[in-house]
């Protein structure tokens, strides 16, 4: 990416029936420019809409990539990466941090009927998760709108240390603070 390139990191922090989503526009040099919030339902299927809402609130045409810190935030509120990319006209990368055999068994244990069917369909429509080495760490990336090699470059460029991309780290901290504020103010 060009010098001064920006990405939008999005992460969540759940409490009770609502999860707070935060989006943080961060430059590769770690400068944080903008933060916006939304909410989604814990155990619902509205995370995709909440993520699109954050991108729209940010309203930054110079942000070309959205980095998500999960594909199943808020207790299996499975996101539709292709719809986010299509709706926002941006590449979308979902970065996860642990090796996994997938979510199908966990979804089958937690849901049944139409709720299970909808989640499995959405989960199975996600692009394949691919390993990316970042320094001495390993992350797993699903990419829509860019090649895997380009996705790996973006993740590395925005991960100055450790294994967590800075935009996701900042968004996660903001989501936690936003959640605490919401519940303290209530």
User: Which pLDDT does position 119 carry in this prediction?
Assistant: 98
Is residue 3 scored above 70 in pLDDT?
A: no
Query: Looking at the predicted structure, is the pLDDT value of residue 143 above 70?
Result: yes
How much is the pLDDT for 145?
98
As given in the structure block, the two tokens for residue 101 are: 């055999």
Give 4-53 pLDDT, tens digit per residue.
Answer: 789 999 999 998 999 999 999 999 999 999 999 999 999 999 999 999 99
pLDDT band (50, 70, 90) for residue 135: confident
Query: SS3 letters for the chain?
Result: CCCCCEEEEEEEEEECCEEEEEEEEEECCCCEEEEEEEEEECCCCCHHHHHHHHHHHHCCCCEEEEEECCCCHHHHCCCCHHHHHHHHCCEEEEEECCCCCCCHHHHHHHCCHHHHHHHHHHHHCCCCCEEEEECCEEEEEEEECCCHHHHHHHHHHCCCCCCCCHHHHHHHHHHHHHHHHHHHHC
Residue 183 banded pLDDT, cuts 50, 70, 90: confident
pLDDT at 184: 72
pTM: 0.95
Sheet strand arrangement including 18-27: 32-41, 18-27, 6-15, 63-68, 91-96, 137-144, 130-134
Tell me which of 92 and 181 has the higher pLDDT: 92
Cα-based distances in Å from 89 to 52, 72, 96, 122, 177: 11, 21, 22, 20, 29
The tally of CA atoms less than 13 A away on the side-chain side of residue 184 is 6
How much is the average pLDDT of 154-166? 93
Instruction: Please give the CATH superfamily to which domain 6-99+128-184 belongs.
Output: archaeoglobus fulgidus dsm 4304 superfamily (3.30.2170.10)
Per-residue pLDDT at 133: 95
Q: Tens digits of per-residue pLDDT, 54-99?
A: 999 999 999 999 999 999 999 999 999 999 999 999 999 999 999 9
Give the model's pLDDT for residue 2. 65
- Confidence band (pLDDT; 50, 70, 90) for 163? confident
pLDDT, one tens digit per residue, over 97-110 is 999 999 999 999 99
pLDDT of residue 4: 74
Q: Return the domain boundaries, the chain.
A: 6-99+128-184
């Amino acid at each position: 990416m060009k010098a001064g390139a920006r990405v939008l990191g999005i992460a969540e922090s759940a409490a009770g029936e609502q999860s707070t989503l935060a989006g943080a526009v961060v430059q590769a040099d770690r400068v944080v420019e903008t933060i916006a919030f939304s909410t989604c339902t814990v155990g619902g299927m509205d995370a995709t809409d909440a993520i699109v809402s954050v991108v729209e609130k940010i309203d930054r045409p110079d942000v070309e990539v959205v980095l998500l810190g999960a594909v199943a935030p808020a207790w299996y509120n499975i996101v539709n990466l292709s719809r986010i990319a299509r709706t926002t006209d941006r590449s979308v990368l979902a970065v996860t941090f642990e090796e996994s055999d997938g979510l199908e068994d966990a979804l089958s244990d937690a849901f049944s009927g139409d709720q299970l069917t909808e989640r499995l369909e959405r989960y199975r429509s996600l692009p394949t998760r691919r390993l990316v080495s970042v320094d001495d760490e390993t992350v797993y990336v699903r990419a829509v709108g860019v090649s895997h090699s380009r996705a790996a470059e973006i993740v590395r460029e925005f991960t100055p240390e450790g294994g967590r991309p800075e935009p996701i780290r900042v968004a996660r901290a903001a989501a936690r603070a936003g959640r605490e504020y919401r519940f303290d103010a209530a």
